[in-house]
Every structure is written in C-alpha cells, then in structure tokens.
Amino acid sequence: MPVIPFKQAIRQAMVEEMERDESVFLIGEEVGEYNGAYKVSEGMLARFGPRRVLDTPISETGFAGLAIGAAMCGLRPIVEFMSWSFSFVCFDQLMNNAANIRYMSGGQFKLPIVFRGGNGIAHQLAATHSHRVDALYARVPGLIVVAPSTPYDARGLLKTSIRSDDPVIFLESEIVLNETGEVPDAEYTLPLGVADIKRPGSTVTLICWSKMVKLCLNAAAELEADNIHAEVIDLRTLRPLDEQTILESIRKTHRAVIVDEDWPYCGMGAGIMTRIYKKAFDHLDAPIARVCSEDTPVPYSHPLEHAMQPSVEKVIAAVKEVCYV
C-alpha cells in the first residue's frame, strides 16, 4: 500500500471527486497559480483549468458567500481557508448562512459545501494565526465538523464530505500536512460520525482528534512500561459525535482522559466530558481528566508556544492521576 503525505491524500480526494462530478470545484486564496499555500492543490489548476480551480482576492467573506450561493444553485464547492483563523472575518457567512439555509428554507435548498484548511497551532504563527476552531463550529446545529489525523482518514472523510448535502467544516492541522501514512490506490470513502480506535486498551480511555492523536499514541506507548494499557479513540468527526464508541470504551476501562489542543474554558473537551458524566457516570472509577493548551494567547516564542500546548508528558501525568499511580 502506498505511503503518502496527509496533504497528498487531501489532494487525491479532491481530484477524484472533481473527476467523478463536474459540479465540484475548488475556490480560495492561492489555490491555483501558486498551487496552494501549503501545496495541497498542487497541479490541480493545470488539470482542471481556471473554471474549476478559482483563485480569489483576499476576501473570505466574498468567496465564502459566492460558494454558498453556488451550493444553493446545485454546485458542490470546496472552499479553502488558508487558515481557519481567517474564517472569523466571514463568520456571518458560516454561522448564519451556511448553517441555516437548509433549515430556514424548509429543505428547499441543500448546502453541499466543504470549508477546509489549516486549523490549530503550527509553528510560530503567533496569537492571531493559531486559533483552534473545533468547539466554535462544532456547537452549531446545521454544520458537520470533521478533524482527521491520518492520510487514510483524510482522504476517505473528505470524499464523503464533498458528497454530503450539508455544509462540512473540515479541519486540517498544518503540523500534520507533511506526515505520511498508508493510503490504498483503490477508491474508498469513510462514514461521518464514526470514531476509530487507533489503539485498543483496558486501563484508561484517551479521547482525542487531529494532531492530538499522534501525541496520545506516543503517550500510550510509554505508559505500557508502567503496565497501563491506554485505549486511544480518534473521534475523526466532532459533529456528529460518536458517543457509542466513547461510552463503550469507558464502560471497559472506567477511566478517561480527554486531550484537546484548544483552551480549557468552554472547549470541545468540556462538551465531551459533560456527555460522559451524564451517560456513563456510574462506570467511572475516577474523575475525568482533561489535557488542554494553557489559557493564554498563543505566544510567538517557540519555547513558550511549545510549553503552552498539550504534550506527551502532560498526557502521561493525567493518565497516572486518574489511575491513582
């Protein structure tokens, strides 16, 4: 099975869907002539031409609104935000229009659109370019939120997202873009709303997504030396959330640690914790622990940027706390 980078898997998904369906097109800043800010769309302009790979001005409000209108008329846009931090300038388009048009029209309009791009802390991009929007959009009815961690998952989930008749927020960690993994040549899709157990275990459940998955897998490997067998659940989709996989794991391990790159206050992890306490409280042998970024703006300084984020050491400490080790 070929081993390819995450960003190539994203490109494969877009190319395959654009070849399969002429209504699919890509729009965003530098997606064409420059081959994408992170080279995710490399070669796509030459392959599909400027009618289906559209470079835009620096106006997220403008091209997001244009794409929403196109989706209402039956096309299937893929909108690339260079950074999800930039989506804040078109928040009205996402929060009011994309999320609500199908509902407010009584189903007369479908919204088959994918908004995708870099999410989270990368490397010295400072406070205004390092936002984690997971919880911000996952709380909105009408939006689907996807956050893959591997090239295999990215390709399969993006293909399904492009075929969805509802708007999808597709979150790609910039740190993960060059990481590699096995991806089959044959076409495949993956269902939305289904988590994946990346590592089975019996002692504690680690709940994570996106770039936190690799961190949790590394922590789980180190914990084996202490006879702690961590089960690592990759949520893959944040909305809808696969509660069943989470609850089944906790009923087995009786302990949980949620690892979330976002701030602790009102974060995605807090929402997951609430659901676990409501539906699996009697199965817990210890309070749920959370590992998050520090409650501060993201520093430009690399040592400080590294220190404020979740780490393998922080995850191990949290696991030992809930295991009373």
Catalytic residues: 60, 129
78 sits in which H/E element:
strand 76-83
Output the CA–CA distances (angstroms, integers) from residue 56 to 22, 33, 34, 47, in the order listed: 20, 11, 12, 18
Q: How far apart are CA 170 and CA 137, in angstroms?
A: 10
- CB atoms inside a 10 Å sphere around CB 324: 8
- CB atoms inside a 10 Å sphere around CB 225: 7
DSSP-assigned beta bridge partners for residue 173: 119
- CB atoms inside a 10 Å sphere around CB 43: 13
Q: Cα(first)–Cα(last) distance of the chain, in Å?
A: 41
Output the CA–CA distances (angstroms, integers) from residue 128 to 29, 91, 176, 253, in the order listed: 18, 15, 20, 39
User: DSSP 3-state assignment of 110?
Assistant: coil
Report residue 258: phi and psi, to 5°: -100, 125
Output the CA–CA distances (angstroms, integers) from residue 8 to 38, 41, 56, 260, in the order listed: 11, 9, 22, 25
Sign of CA dihedral 233, 239, 243, 245: negative
Tokens (6 digits) for 111 = 């919204």
Q: How far apart are CA 287 and CA 68, in angstroms?
A: 43
